[in-house]
Structures are given as C-alpha cells and as structure tokens.
Amino acid sequence: MKPELLAVLASDMDESVRTVAQLAMGRPAKGPEIRSSAKAPAPGKSGPESGRISPITSNLRAESARSYTQGTLKNGERAYTDRSYVFTKVPESLEGAEMIRTANDDDDTRGNSFLTFDLAMESTVFIAHDRRIAGRPEWMKPFADTDLDLALATDHNQFHLWSQDFPAGKVSLGGSLVAASSGTKSNYFVIIKPKPLVPPPALTTSEQSLAALAKADARRGEALFFNVAVCSTCHRVGNRGTNFGPDLTNLGARMEAKYIVQSLLDPNAVITEGFAGHSVEAGGKSYFGILLSAGPTLRLGLVTGQVVEIPENTIKRHEILPVSPMPPQSALLKPQDVADITAWLMTAKQEASSTTQPTALPKPAPAKPSSAAPSATAPSSTARPADSSPLTAVEKPDRLVIMQSGGMIGEFVFSDPKIRRPFFANLRAPGGIPVTRTWPPVPGVDAVDHADMHPGVWLAFGDLAGHDFWRNNGTMKHESFAAPPAWKGDRLEFSTISSLLTSNGTKLAAMRSDFSIAPIGGELHLTWAAAFTPERDGFYFGDQEEMGLGVRMATPLTEKSGGRITSSTGKTTANATWGQPAEWCDYSGTINGIQVGAKIIPDPANFRPSWWHNRDYGVFVANPFGRGAMKQGKPDRTEVKKGETFRMKFTIILHAGKP
C-alpha cells in the first residue's frame, strides 16, 4: 500500500487493521490491553534503552572537540550532551526514532560540513531547530517544513522540525550560526527515521535472494533487522532484541545461508520446538503469538514485541496451531533486503562474541574433588557467547518473572494452589530454547503426567517426619523474601522463607532458600541452597525415591523422544543410572540440530552423595536420602533436632550448543 493509505489505516477503528498498518509503517503497534515487557528509564536517566540497539548512523564526527552521541527520541531522554534538559513532548510519529545529541555550547559553529555521519540505508533526516530563532542556517534551505510546530519540546524550550530524504551513505550538516554577519546563534539536534520498505512487485524467492548475496551489505542488514523489518521485536542476537522467538546469536555457525533465507521467506517450513503459534480468544478479542507462560494468567509474546496477559478464567478458546507466529517476509522484503539480513546474521557471531568471554563455573570448597566440570564421557555442549545484560525479576502476586534483555528466561513460582511448594517453571537455556516442560503442560503438545508434581525445577520430599510434601499433602508455604531479587555483579540473587506445614496446618520447620542465577558463557547456572530448621522434636528426612532436587525436561528432550541421560560415571540411559551414585547427571536432547539440556550437580559439601531417581519420560532427581529405596543399603532416616539447621545445595546448569 502507499504510505498515504497506510497512514489512514494506522488510525482505523478495527484493532487488527491498525496493527498491520502500524507494523507496515515500521512502528510498534499499540493497544490499550497490551502490557509491554519493556521498562522506560526514569526522566533524565540513560538506561539500557536510552540508545538505539543498532544505530542507523555510524562514523559520527563533529568538527568541534565536543561530544556528539546517538540516542533515542522519547520523553525523559536528554536532548544535549552537555546539558541536563530532557524531552517533555515528542511527536508520536517520531517517538523511539534514532537521534544525534549535539552539544548546546556549539551554538556559534559555522560551515556546511560541520557534522557528518554515514547512513546504513535510505532515511529521512529531521533537523529540530530552536523555535525561538526566527531564521535558520543557509545549509538548511533544502530541508522542507514538516508543519510539526509545537510538537517537540524540552523542559527548556521548543523546536520546529524540518526534513530531507537522504540515500544511504555520507550526510553532511552545517553549523548552528544562522547568519555570520549578524552573529545570530542557535541550536539544533538531528532525528533519523529510515524510509519504509517498498514491497517487491512479486513475491521474493529463495533463488533471487541467494543470488543477491554476492552484493549483500551486512551493515544495511543489521539496520533492517533492528529498525525497519522489526525482526528484533521477537528475536535476539547477542544482548540485543527480544527472545520471544528463537535466539539468533551465532546463527551463521549452525545454519547455512540457504536455510536462513528459507526461514525468512517461509517460517512455516521448520518450526523450532516450543515456538508454534498459539491462538487465543478472550474478552471478545483474538490474540496470536508465542506462549511465554501459562497458569492463572496466560502470557503471550506478540509479533509486535509486546506481551499480553490474559486471565485464564476469561479464555473462551485456546488452540496450538502448526504454524509459526512469524509472518512470511516474501511479500515485504526484496531479494536484496533478504540477502542483506542473511549476510549480517551469518557474521553476527563475531559481533556478539567480541565483548564477552565465557567464564568457568566457580568451584565450591569441596569435602572431596569437585565434579562441576564434565568428564570426557559427558555430552558436549558448545558454549555460546554470554548475554552480558543483567537479569531482572518482575514480581507478580504469585511469582517472579525472570527477564533478560526484555525476554523471559523463566519463572519462580512461590505460591500455587495445586503445587504447594516453591518451584521454577518454563526455564530456557541461552538462545531462548525451552529446557523444562511447559508449565502447566499443554495437552496434545506435552506429556501431561505428574502435572502437579513435576513443574520444572523443584525441591521436595516424599517423607518429612511422616508427611508427603512431594505429592502436595504438605505445604511449603511462602512467608516472605528474606532478601529481595537484586543483580549483584554477575548474577541475580534472592532468598525466601517458607513454613513447612502438615495437612492439618501444623508447622514442622522453617525453610530458608537462597537462590543464585548466573549467565556464564553459553550456560545458565541456577543454584538452590536450602536450610531447614525444625520447630518441634521428631523431625526427619525419610527414605524414599521421591526425595531431593528434581527437574522435568521439555517433552522433546526426554529419553522417550530421543534424549539421553549421562552420569559422571559414564553410564547412560535412565535404567542404567537409576539408583546409582554419581557426582552429576546430565539430561540432554536435540532440538533443530542444537543440543539442549540440563545438568544437576549436588554440592560436594552436602551431608552425603546423591543417588539418582531417573526416568525415560523426562524426570531426574538428585536424592541423598533414599539409600534403602534406591537399593543401596539399609533404609534409614536423617534426623534433625529442634533448633538445629540442616543444609543442602544443588546447582542446575541449563545449556545449549552444537551436539
């Protein structure tokens, strides 16, 4: 459609029409019922979103010695590099556009090439000129009046906008002095908005796109990915973008160019496990996206890059469709556009990895040799570059949503009416690939056995002083956060206090859990340290196979689906490792050619090594208590006196890499 028609449809009464038109114009679609996953920085602050994640401009140079920087046009952001003035009003059509912050003190600069920069693609360059100054510099004469008067303001003054279209390449702008003879000074800053894509006259084919690779411009491809084709609203590369869809970091290392082209033009050809489209009707509206989490509130990641939260009791229909939520790009991208994006994705590995270095798992002070490092018999997991951005936790009434770079990597649920204990659910390995079974499991997609006992990652016991906390007959009731979630150096840490209550409400003990979640290299390390302090005599840990730290794997990673369990002893399969002692066990499978898995490492300082309760349907449990149940000796019980504290600790490593 022509831009004039799209502009009209972008304000249509029908929400679906508005969404499509706004996306075609390169703008995020807006809707009052959608809750964005992004959080804007406080006024005057420069947070992670204060600059474009991939600037359209490069080689920025000013003839003065003062600082000029790239940023984002939005309320609360600074207008100049040397003043604290912030934007208080921006035109809706330019909100979120890239800008160049200039120096306020450069109000008497001269010439026609004072400020230069390179454009990665054809763009409209806007000059925001001080409205208090009647004239404008001579070099601005070719710039057209946008009629956006009084639409842009800071807390200091107002600006008028002038525009001119430029092709990709070098742009030269002049100084601020209006007239050298009069010495009239002024200020301006620059706003850049890429031109909308012009659709191809016919559907783009793979053959055309592959032929265009010979002239591909990776720099333009990066700008298309992040700023025009809006791929980054659902995908992440390195620490940029959103991981609703599969993470594309290192894509060139694991996929040939022809398959990247195919994925762009025909996303339905191969759908990564866990990323099928979900169609939901609720409250008289329809939604289509990627399932981020289920439960009392269903969360969908939409193609617009936003999150919609839908109360479960309002859902009229929920279907899982054998299609990708990503729309085919064959009608939007020309062959050269596809080739440019492909060329950049093929080289994005080096760009993503240049700023990060994988680090090793810190070893605890062991009572015996540490087993944190896998032996030669362990399955390999090629480390991928770490996302250096911090983890954050968004607190809900019943859970913490763990986020990184705008995408969810898992949930810590501390209150659930069916699973009466704290647990982690919907955990993803670096790259956004699900590792634990979807919680709650989706019928027809996931195995649904033990739905209320195997949520994701949990610590539970079939016999605590004669009470069954594994099958939810007892309750580990969340009381408070002893330490709220906080990013400390290189990891997210938080602590909780829970009461261990019998079915009749009697309190047996208090449990403190200290959690640490750290992205290390191409892995995510989750540590759970638990301390139990009985409040009455007769407290003990019994002897059963369902005791300890458990993980339930995503359905395609189970042994039944082709996955494999490997222990530190070199044994493989669930049958061979069940009941056996081992310093660690790894449960891995392959999704889309990528090996994905989880490894449980009991801390060597635990009171005794663990035996393993492993099953081919996807569960594995590190159990230091079930000596008799595991047929490793006489049954026993581990008693803890009133007022004493009993401790145990486990680390779970989520990994993804080449097999």
Q: Is the pLDDT of residue 437 over 60?
A: yes
Work out the pLDDT band at 354, boundaries 50, 70, 90.
Answer: very low
Work out the pLDDT band at 180, boundaries 50, 70, 90.
Answer: low
DSSP-assigned beta bridge partners for residue 621: 550, 613
**Do residues 533 and 643 share a domain?**
yes
What's the total number of domains in the chain? 4
**Do residues 27 and 38 share a domain?**
no
Residue 124 lies in a domain: yes
Residue 226 pLDDT: 85
Q: Is the pLDDT of residue 371 over 70?
A: no
Residue 54 pLDDT: 59
* Environment class of 210 (CB within 10 Å of its CB; exposed 0-12, middle 13-18, buried 19+): middle
Determine which of 113-117, 156-160, 294-298, 593-597 has the lowest per-residue pLDDT on average: 294-298
Residue 328 pLDDT: 85
- The answer to whether 511 and 498 have CB atoms below 8 angstroms apart is yes
> Would you say the pTM of this structure is higher than 0.75?
no
**Do residues 406 and 506 share a domain?**
yes
CA 31, 392, 404, 584 dihedral sign is negative
For residue 505, is it left (φ>0), alpha (ψ between -120 and 50) or beta? left
Arithmetic mean of pLDDT over the chain: 83
**Do residues 579 and 444 share a domain?**
yes
- Stated as kind and residue range, the H or E segment containing 564 is strand 564-567
Residue 464 pLDDT: 97
Structure tokens at 331: 């009608």
**Do residues 42 and 177 share a domain?**
yes
DSSP result, 196-256: PP---SS---HHHHHHHGGG--HHHHHHIIIIIS-GGGT-EETTEE-TTS---TTHHHHS-
Radius of gyration of the chain (CA): 28
Residue 472 pLDDT: 96
User: Mean pLDDT over residues 530-555, rounded?
Assistant: 96
- The answer to whether 458 and 598 have CB atoms below 8 angstroms apart is no
Closest by CA to 493, choosing from 483, 506, 501, is 483
Closest by CA to 475, choosing from 423, 427, 545, is 423
Residue 252 pLDDT: 74
Work out the pLDDT band at 53, boundaries 50, 70, 90.
Answer: low
CA distance 309 to 390: 24
Give the DSSP letter of residue 488: E
* Environment class of 517 (CB within 10 Å of its CB; exposed 0-12, middle 13-18, buried 19+): buried
**Do residues 178 and 226 share a domain?**
no
Closest by CA to 309, choosing from 293, 325, 297, is 297
- The answer to whether 237 and 349 have CB atoms below 8 angstroms apart is no
pLDDT digits (tens, 9 = 90+) for 447-457: 899 999 999 99
Residue 614 lies in a domain: yes
Residue 406 pLDDT: 67
Work out the pLDDT band at 198, boundaries 50, 70, 90.
Answer: confident
pLDDT digits (tens, 9 = 90+) for 107-156: 888 888 899 999 999 999 999 998 888 888 989 999 999 877 678 999 98
The strand ranges marked E within 39-194 are: 57-62, 69-72, 87-89, 98-101, 115-119, 123-130, 144-145, 152-154, 158-166, 169-173, 188-194
- The residue with greater pLDDT, 350 or 68, is 68
Which CATH number is 248's domain given? 1.10.760.10
CA distance 1 to 3: 6
User: Mean pLDDT over residues 72-93, rounded?
Assistant: 91
Residue 637 pLDDT: 95
Residue 385 lies in a domain: no
Residue 282 lies in a domain: no
- The answer to whether 493 and 515 have CB atoms below 8 angstroms apart is yes
Using the structure block, give the residue that is written with the tokens 């403190």.
Answer: 512
Residue 414 pLDDT: 97
Counting every residue, how long is the chain? 659
Integer angstrom CA distances of residue 208 from 140, 191, 205, 213? 40, 34, 5, 9
**Do residues 482 and 570 share a domain?**
yes
**Do residues 545 and 582 share a domain?**
yes
Q: Is the pLDDT of residue 37 over 90?
A: no
Give the DSSP letter of residue 45: -
Residue 381 lies in a domain: no
Per-residue H/E/C for 529-543: EEEEEECCCCEEECC
Residue 55 pLDDT: 74
Q: Is the peptide bond before 311 cis (omega within 30 degrees of 0)?
A: no
- The residue with greater pLDDT, 3 or 351, is 3
Residue 27 pLDDT: 53
CA distance 67 to 563: 55
Q: What percent of the chain has pLDDT over 90?
A: 49
Closest by CA to 252, choosing from 174, 344, 175, 316, is 344
Using the structure block, give the residue that is written with the tokens 């939409």.
Answer: 302
**Do residues 577 and 604 share a domain?**
yes
pLDDT digits (tens, 9 = 90+) for 455-483: 999 999 999 999 999 999 999 999 999 99
CA distance 553 to 558: 6
Integer angstrom CA distances of residue 1 from 11, 13, 177, 225, 476? 15, 18, 41, 21, 58
CA distance 47 to 55: 16
**Do residues 566 and 599 share a domain?**
yes
**Do residues 429 and 516 share a domain?**
yes
- The residue with greater pLDDT, 278 or 521, is 278
Residue 49 pLDDT: 35
Integer angstrom CA distances of residue 516 from 44, 409, 527? 32, 14, 5
Which CATH number is 601's domain given? 2.70.98
Determine which of 60-64, 148-152, 186-190 has the lowest per-residue pLDDT on average: 148-152
**Do residues 609 and 643 share a domain?**
yes
- The residue with greater pLDDT, 312 or 8, is 312
- The answer to whether 541 and 637 have CB atoms below 8 angstroms apart is yes
Residue 372 lies in a domain: no
pLDDT digits (tens, 9 = 90+) for 469-518: 999 999 999 999 999 999 998 999 999 999 999 999 999 999 999 999 99
Which residues span the domain enclosing 225? 206-276+322-353
Residue 283 lies in a domain: no
CA distance 633 to 170: 77
Q: Is the peptide bond before 440 cis (omega within 30 degrees of 0)?
A: yes
Residue 467 lies in a domain: yes
Residue 90 pLDDT: 92
Residue 263 pLDDT: 87
Work out the pLDDT band at 377, boundaries 50, 70, 90.
Answer: very low
